[in-house]
Structure 1
Amino acid sequence: MTYRLRVADLPAAERPRERLMTYGAKSLSTAELIAILLGTGQGPGKLSAVGLGQHILQKLGEHQRDSLAVLRDVSVQELMQIPGVGVAKSTTIVAAIELGKRVLYSRPPDRTVIDDPSVAAAILSGDLMWQAQERFAVLLLDVKHRLVGTQIISVGTATETLAHPRDIFREVIRQGAVRVIVAHNHPSGNVEPSPEDIALTRQLLAGAQILNIPLLDHLILGDGHYRSLRQSTTLWQEFPQGD
């Protein structure tokens, strides 16, 4: 007879719920987070809830290296094809994923003051984060850095976006904005700026100086993270914006 460890057999301090309460959700693995949603295990070999969570991730990742990428858009029907995952477990997982998306993608109302890169990144997450293609977007602001609107300027391929300073500033001027933040995503999830990103930022900063429309930042988003080029490069010292 094979003995299979249940979550209830673990010491209290090692159980997912208890660890979440003590150390926070970030301390848990993805399988443990799924286990809390599942509540109970079973499936092939009568797995524990954590074991079933691991099994779900394994099955979702069979045809794609990133199981989390699949999980983000998984359907109830897809989950129910996995042994041990019925209607209740499937709907709980899908509901939790949708709730997470709504929290992440919730956008502040117009006229919100953009006073930190994290605020700008949160506003743009719905349009840029985890996209399969590169997208280039602008945040349009008034003189007090309040949000006037957002605009997707271009959509590129999986590895390249097409954006030209002319197109970017045309939209800024058309909508009457006097401050601007630009952003694009890296589908790979790596938010390190490429040489092309740096070159484009230089062009935009130079153009912003001529037009007297300060460029406040250039953000790169990907896989739940972002990078502020203003904070991580010296470009704004080379091209002062007077913002």
Structure 2
Amino acid sequence: MTYSLRIADIPSSERPRERLIALGANSLATAELLAILLGTGQGKGKLSAVGLGHYILQQLSQHRRDPLDVLRDINAQELIKIEGIGPAKATTILAAIELGKRTFQIRPLERVIIENPTAAAAALSHDLMWESQERFAAIFLDVKNRLIGIKVITIGTATETLVEPGEIFRETLKQGANRLIVAHNHPSGNLEPSQEDINLTQRLLEGAKILRISLLDHLILGEGNHCSLRDLTDLWTKYPQDD
């Protein structure tokens, strides 16, 4: 590698930022990750950002030390001593190191388990319950009914909202969910499902079966109350799900 070569002169598919987006951060060498943080090069021999990243690692590996081990506890003054590193680059590197430490130290939160329509309605209440326009939302769950995420798919008018099953399933797959609860609100407070609600539920149940995603329920919310189409209809008997 010619470390004085500008990033702009490297083929776009080989540039660190583009490679990170295409392949993920774990596919990049340490010097490339540093190059993204550095943004620009310079320093000894007017190095490129990647070249400067390699030079930093070389300087940190003196006395046979692992450069990443040195980086873990380095301070700004030590970084600035390296030719090509000023206060801006030093603080960017240190901020990234500290962010990595904090991310590593935080334990993942326990996921909420959605076991019944009441729990699902509570999870959706903020997004749907008191809205003046119809909204269609989905709750994404793993195989143990643990909450992965919630998303409002579409926002309609005061009386109707339009949603395509394809939109819902695309988002479900994007979220990596195995199970799904859909819901919409009736701003009027009348929770009786319309024929359109029933028809949509049937289409979703058919699609879920093909995609091997379990549609657990379709809820209607409004003015502090909710109802479950699974409880009100025989659709889940006609189109059984793997739940």
Q: What is the identity, as a one-letter code, of the residue corresponding to 1:125?
A: S
Partner of residue 54, structure 2: none
Partner of residue 118, structure 1: 118
Flag structure 1 segments of 5+ consecutive residues without an equivalent.
1-108
Q: Aligned-pair distance for 1:174? A: 0.7
Partner of residue 151, structure 1: 151
Backbone CA RMSD of aligned residues = 0.9
Partner of residue 165, structure 2: 165
Q: What is the identity, as a one-letter code, of the residue corresponding to 2:119?
A: V
Question: Map of 1:133-152 to 2, 5 A cutoff?
Answer: 133-152=133-152
**Displaced runs of 4+ in structure 1, greater than 3 A?**
none
Identity rate, percent: 62
CA distance in 2, matches of 1:110, 1:228: 26
Determine whether 1:196 maps to 2:193.
Answer: no
Flag structure 2 segments of 5+ consecutive residues without an equivalent.
1-108
With normalisation by structure 1, the TM-score equals 0.55
Q: How many pairs are equivalent?
A: 135
Q: Aligned-pair distance for 1:110? A: 6.1
Question: Map of 1:1-243 to 2, 5 A cutoff?
Answer: 111-243=111-243
CA distance in 1, matches of 2:239, 2:141: 20
CA distance in 1, matches of 2:201, 2:209: 12
SS state at 1:126 partner: helix
Q: Aligned-pair distance for 1:194? A: 0.3
SS state at 2:184 partner: strand
CA distance in 1, matches of 2:208, 2:119: 22
Q: 1:218 to 1:110 in 2, by over 3 A?
A: farther
CA contact (8 A) 1:121 1:226 kept: yes
Partner of residue 50, structure 1: none
CA contact (8 A) 1:114 1:146 kept: yes
With normalisation by structure 2, the TM-score equals 0.55
CA distance in 2, matches of 1:221, 1:195: 16
- Deviations 1:30-52 (CA, angstroms, capped at 9, x unpaired): xxxxxxxxxxxxxxxxxxxxxxx
Q: Whose radius of gyration is greater, 1 or 2?
A: 2
SS state at 1:196 partner: helix
